[in-house]
Each structure stands twice: as structure tokens, then as C-alpha cells.
Structure 1
Amino acid sequence: MLIRVTKEPRRDIMLFIKNGTIYTMAGSVIEKGSILIKDGKILEVGKDLVAPLDAEIIDAEGKMVLPGFIDAHSHLGMWEEGIGFEGDDGNEAMDPVTPHLRAIDAINPMDISFEEAYMAGVTSVVTGPGSANVIGGMSVAIKTYGRRIDDMIIKEPIAMKIAFGENPKRVYYGQKKSPMTRMATAAILRESLYKAKSYLEKKELAKDDPSKMPEFDIKMEALAKVLKKEIPLKAHAHRADDIFTALRIAKEFDVDITLDHCTEGHLIADYLAEEGKGAIVGPTLSNRSKFELKNLTFNTPRILHEAGVKIAITTDSPVIPLQYLPICAGLAHKFGLDEMEALKAITINAAEIVGIDDRVGSIEVGKDADIIIVEGNPIKDIDYKTYMTIINGEIVYR
């Protein structure tokens, strides 16, 4: 193993990958293909490319070359490995409405889970607050390699976490305060969005008269990003009725939304196809730890895909360790999901659903050079090996 510790990705590195079977996730598979990487970006992709004299040559003969894997829903770095409360920074479970919280202020990129992730080929994740609160705060999309979170950001904020179902009910029932019912969860979310809408309207009316400007409210400022469609709601929803409630409220306020977990999505696949929203499915490699998981099955990705729903697969790390993301995709394939669709669920589909496909998710000219080279097939072979991980054009694992 080789790990280069640098302050930020080195932009002077030129790499030339040759002889690999390239799964671009943007078209056909290229046999005996080549990739030229310069200044952290993909410069050329194809067959019969000529290597520059000053490039480091990487021979990928007999190996698969893939875009780095992406987990569209995780809590990486917010629940640190093996230390309990001291590293538990994902839920501010004292107030059900905390939209102003930002994941970047809690992530520890030096936690061992980051190294384990990129060693397994996971190069990008969306990570953010947990689901204790009705509104949990703002998630971020990051690369999995680095020492300073500010240097690892792909997009921040990327979404506003909201939660339905059992989690907020359980947390606040224990405190004997609202929400204790699904009705209250929905009502609290609506109330917060209405307040944010009113706050925005007052600011708009007062723009020519500062004396009429409403008092600054950091929570409303955060929710304004949702109402202005700068970021979507990121909805924790396992059960079918909770998924529909999430969609109902998003329509009421004309805001964007992603459906995360979607455990019972296979029961309502036809409806979700009509809605036209992507589904981030998982964590499925786990037990039925609560009632709303009673219909947990690896059939869900296949059924949703066959209905026409774009799917991504998530570990919900640390629920499932992030390095097992390709195993989760492999189990979905075992239950009938097409092999290429399983790969898309942890690459380009994940990137498109969360809105970072301009940077990552496929091997295309101009995109970030986040590339993995593997021995074996990560979807089919339990003993596949990561030969090399490249992030931002730098070899971070060999």
C-alpha cells in the first residue's frame, strides 16, 4: 500500500492508464483502453492513445477500470469508529428543528473509515446529519481522501436532511415532547417551511427599506436555500406512507427532494416511477431493527429499476461500513438487478440523483480523475481486490 500525504491534490501529476477494460458508465465498455490524466482531470479516454513522455504509466492489463464508487447517503466522519459519545456528532437531538447545522463542522476526515473507504474504491460520498430530528441540518458531498475537510468538498451544502417515521418519534417521545406522532413530524416540517417562506417574503419586501428587514434568523436562512431550490430536501423515509408524506410536502412547497432509504419502495414502485424521483436504497445489508424495516429486501433495487425509477445504493455508513458498498450492489445483482445497473447504482446514478454528475460518477473528458482499477469484478467477486485508487488525479492507494 502507498499513501501520499499531501495538503491538497497535486496538480502537476500526469498519469496514463493503458490496456484496461474501461467501464466509463457513460457509454460502451472500452477494451484495451487508455486514459490520460492531467491536472487532476480526465484529459483523454479511448483506444490507441499515445502516452506523453513525462506521464507515469499504469498498466491495467487484465483489470477493470471504473469511476470511483459513490455513496449518495452516509454519515462518514460524523460517527467515528469505536469511540462512542466522544465521536458521535451526527444528531443534535435536543431540538427537532435544526436546519442551520452544517455537516462540515462535525466531520473528522482523519477517522480510519475514510482510509477503509478509498482502499475499497469509494472515492466520493454525501455525508450529513442523522435522522433524530425532523430537520437535521445540511449535508455535504466530499471526496474520501484528505486531511482538511475544506479541501475535500465537492458541493456544500448539497441537501437539507429531514426525517419521517420512527426515528424522530422515538427520540422525542423519550423527552416527552413533540413530535410523538407522524402527524406532528409532518406538521413541524410544514410550520418550519411556512416560516421560512414568510421570512423570505419579508426580506423581499424590505430590500429597498432596510428598516423593515426582518431580524436575522439563521434557521430561516438555511431553509431559504431549500425554498429557492438551491438544495433539495433529503428525506429519511423507509415506509411507504412516509415516502408519500415526504412527496406530498415537497409538492406543497414546490421544492426538490430525494428519497433516501426507500425500504418499501418496491411496494409502491409504480407510483414512484410516476413521480419521477430517484431512490437512494439501503442500508439493506442489516437486520430488521425496527418495525418500519419489516419489508427489507434486496429485491427493492431490481423492482424499482424495472418500474423505471433511477436507483442508487447506499450503506448508510456507519450502519454498514462504507467499504462494503460494492458488496451491497453485488447482493442487489444477486437478487436480479442487472450487473451494469448495479454498477451505475454506485457510480453515475448516485452522482446524478444528488447533483454532482458534472464532477464525478463516470469516466469522461473534463471530469475529476477519480478512478479505480480492480482485479476481479466488484459486483460478482467477493474476493475482488482494489489494485489502485486515484482521487483528483493522484494515486492515493496502490
Structure 2
Amino acid sequence: MNKYVTTLLLSGLATLHAFGQANISPAPKQNKTIVITGGTIHIGNGQVIENGTIVFKNGKILSVGTNPGTEAGAEIIQAQGKHIYPGFIAPVTNLGLTEFESVKATLDFNEIGNMNPHIRSLIAYNTDSKVPATLRSNGILMAQITPEGGTIAGTSSVVQLDAWNWEDASIRTDDAIHINWPVPPRARGFGPRTAMTPQVIEETRQKAVNDLQQFFAEAQAYTTLEKHAVINTRFAAMKHLFDGKQQLFITANRQKDIVAAVNFAKSFGIKPVIVEAEEAYRVIDFLKANQISVIVKQPHALPSNLDDDVNLPYKNAGILAAAGIPVVISINGYWQQRNLPFMAGTAAAWGMDKEKALSAITLNTAKALGIDKQTGSLETGKDATLFISTGDALDMKTNHVEKAFIQGRSINLDNLHKQLDKKFSDKYSAKAAD
């Protein structure tokens, strides 16, 4: 037995060594005023300032403009010909909740049970993960860490991606509860069909909706009581959802499910954010009338319906934005989050205004997450969470993050991918020179 335990431990150590090359310590607090001048400043709200200057101190932006001034002893960063952006925000991601997809013990985003509002993603968030560093290198400096699975998946939190622990990382703790709207099994492409009859499918779906309705009704009644003979942690976790201090995110795709999800939330006095929303373009008037924000997920994908325009996923964000719906862009997975700005770039290439596409991963996202008073755009009084790119940050050919700051702290932009690139570039450069 000891032989097998020893082998397992050695295997684990080898794995840690293999994935432990990017040991980067979080940056210290900002200790002097920083002035970035001469660059093109993309505010995040649609406004662009050419040859602008931004000044920040103690982690907060002091001024933004063409000549906002400076102060003695400030560090001056020349950014002529470069672009300055607010830090991008990745919403609805299991980043930091999973490390190796093939190892169940590292998957902390899906808990047992169907109604889990009390499951808090923040306390499982791994700040020692090697993945966030790869995101920072593309300008993604914040993320909404989100649980998955079940009907009520749990409670997300918003973090910044350079921290010692989850307490330091948190920007907004327990910002939203996430629901996966009950839907019938849906055949896609040439995959297997369900053996259930249409009647059984609909009955199963309706039962799930009824169970959700009952759960919410009981939770709302529970939260109105001042004292409880028995503590129900699931109901207690929903208190701030009903008093407006917490948000509700509902994943729904088909037009009838989107309408049903919004009406369900309204019946409890809640205005939800709709996630994925593949058929949101079919119910634009309904979404506008109810002032619903939409998180468009996975723009680089095939359409869900066989008779849809094959380019619809690329166009979806632009269609909704043009209609006046607040749009946020997101992407599935965790390693893939580094490609978030290029999803916005795709939306811009398929009809969305370039600065609106930028807002879809900055200010619009901050508004949807309830952190827009603190971050999401480069405005006086907000966090100095921003970066400098030598080119267009929404274009994978020109996105080159030269320097980045989180709450004024100049962060390390090294990561495992860069280290591996250098390692093997050096190897084959040496061979070519021989």
C-alpha cells in the first residue's frame, strides 16, 4: 500500500512541477502617482480621447482628458501611438473553479443537488491557478466567478485577477444568484434523440418550473420573517435577491423560455439578466419593454437551429445592440477566457459599432454585475484598473498588452504560455544557428 501512496504523491508533485512554472506574486499597492500620456484613451462608454492623459493615485483615477495636469514626483508613462483601455471583465465563467478538466477533484463549479442558492463560488476560487495570468496578458483583469449545474446553480462573486487569496480578490461578494431555466431535451444536428414522448417531455419541464416557482415562493416568505424556529440556509441565501441588493442571472435560449424566465422573475419583483439568449433577437420588443440586459455567450459557435443564418452567432450581439438592448459579451470555459476581447472584435466585424463592442466587455458588463460605480470605464473616481496595448486590443493580430494596472497596482504580465513560448523558441533558434 505504501508503494502505491508514494507513487501517487510523486505523480502529484510531478504535475505540480509541470504546471508550476508561472509563480507570480501579486503586485504591491500603488505608492506614487502615475500619469499615462499621449495615447488614445478608450473610456469604455463610447467616448474616445485622442492624445489623452490619465492620472491615478492610490488606486483611483484622478483625472482623464487631453491636459488634466500632473503633480511633482509622479511617474510619467509615454503612450504615443498606443491605446489605453479599461480592464476587460469576463462574466459568467468557472475560472478559478477548475484546473484540470479530466480530474474530478479539481472541478469545484458543480455541486450535488438541484436548488443550491447557498453555494458560494468565491470561497472555492483558486488564486494560485495558472490560468488568470494568461487572461491578464490579453487585458482581462476582472471576472465573475460563477457556479454551474442544477436549476439554481449557486451564487457568483466578482474578483480582480491579481490577489493572494479570495478575500483580497473580491470586488463584489455574492453579486448574483444563477438559474438554469428548465428546458426540455433538445435535439441538435445529428445527435441522438430522446426516447421520451412529447407529452412526457413537457410534463417533466413543467414540473421543474413548478418546483422552481414553489422554491422561490417559500424563500420569499421565509425572508420576510424576523425570526425562524429552524434555519434554512438555502432560503436565507436568497434574502438579498428579494430586497434588491443581489441580482438574478437566468440562462435561457429559446424565445419562449426567455419570455417565461423574465415573467417568472417579474412575479417576484426582480429584474433579471438573461444569459446566452440565442433567440433574443426574436423577442427584442419584449426585452426592451422590460429593460432587460442580455449576456450573449459564445459568439464563435454554430447556430442552434438548422434553418438559422450560419453567421447568426457573430451578428447576434450587434443586432441586439442596434435595437437598444444593453449587451454583454462572454465566452464559455476558463482557459478560453483569454479570447474574450476577440469575441468583441468579431461582433464589431459583423456590424456592431467598435466602441459599443468594447463597452460589451467593459462598462455594460460592469453595469450587469452591479460594479459600474467602481469600475468598467476610465472615469474620475473609479478604480485605476486599465491597461496599455500597442495596438487594437479587440484584434488578435494587434492585441499586445504592454502594461496593466489593477486598482493602481502595476501587475506582472508573465504567464505559463509566454514561458513555454520562450523556452521552445530559444530551443529551435539555437538549433537553427548550429
The answer to whether TM tops 0.5 is yes
- Over 3 Å counting, the alpha-carbon distance change for 1:179 and 1:151 in structure 2 is farther
Unaligned runs of 5+ in 2: 1-21, 188-193, 195-200, 414-434
Q: How does 1:116-131 map to 2 (within 5 A)?
A: 116-130=134-148
> Does 1:145 pair with 2:126?
no
Q: What is the count of residue pairs matched by the alignment?
A: 379
CA distance in 2, matches of 1:18, 1:3: 32
CA contact (8 A) 1:104 1:140 kept: yes
SS of corresponding position for 2:237: helix
Please name the residue that 1:192 is paired with.
215
In 1: Cα distance, 2:126 partner to 2:307 partner: 30
- Residue 306 of structure 1: CA displacement? 1.6
What is the Cα deviation at residue 86 of structure 1? 2.3
Secondary structure (helix, strand or coil) at the match of 1:22 reads strand
Whether 1:369 and 2:378 are equivalent positions in the alignment is no
Q: Which residue number in structure 1 is paired with residue 285 of structure 2?
A: 270
- 2:150 matched to which residue of 1? 133
Distance 1:251 1:50, change over 3 A: closer
Unmatched tracts of structure 1, length 5 or more = 207-212
* 2:25 partner letter: V
Q: 1:13 to 1:165 in 2, by over 3 A?
A: farther
Distance 1:87 1:179, change over 3 A: farther
**Residue 104 of structure 2 corresponds to which residue in structure 1?**
85
Structure-1 separation of matches of 2:159 and 2:218: 31
Asked whether 1:96 is paired with 2:114, we answer yes
Which residue does 1:209 correspond to in 2? none
Distance 1:184 1:109, change over 3 A: farther
Deviation at 1:229, TM superposition (A): 1.6
Structure with higher Rg: it is 2
Q: 1:345: which partner in 2?
A: 360
Decide whether the 8 Å contact of 1:237 with 1:246 is kept in 2.
Answer: yes
Q: Secondary structure at the match of 1:297?
A: helix
Answering whether residue 321 of structure 2 is matched by residue 300 of structure 1, we say no
Letter in 2 for 1:315: I
> What residue in structure 2 maps to residue 312 of structure 1?
328
Report the CA distance shift for 1:119/1:83 in structure 2 as closer, same or farther (over 3 A): farther
* C-alpha distance in 1 between matches for 2:99 and 2:184: 20
How many angstroms apart in 2 are the aligned matches of 1:78 and 1:36? 35
TM-score by length of 2: 0.81
Q: Is residue 249 of structure 1 aligned with residue 272 of structure 2?
A: no
CA distance in 1, matches of 2:134, 2:395: 20
Structure-1-length-normalised TM-score: 0.88
1:184 corresponds to which letter in structure 2?
K
Partner letter of residue 128 of structure 1? T
> What is the aligned partner in structure 1 of residue 74 from structure 2?
55
The percentage of counterpart residues that share the same residue type is 28
Q: Which amino acid aligns with 1:89?
A: D
Q: Does 1:332 align with 2:347?
A: yes
Structure 1 residues 97 and 28: CA distance shift in structure 2, 3 A:
closer
Tell me by how many angstroms 1:181 deviates: 3.0
Distance 1:228 1:115, change over 3 A: same
What's the offset of the Cα at 1:137?
0.8
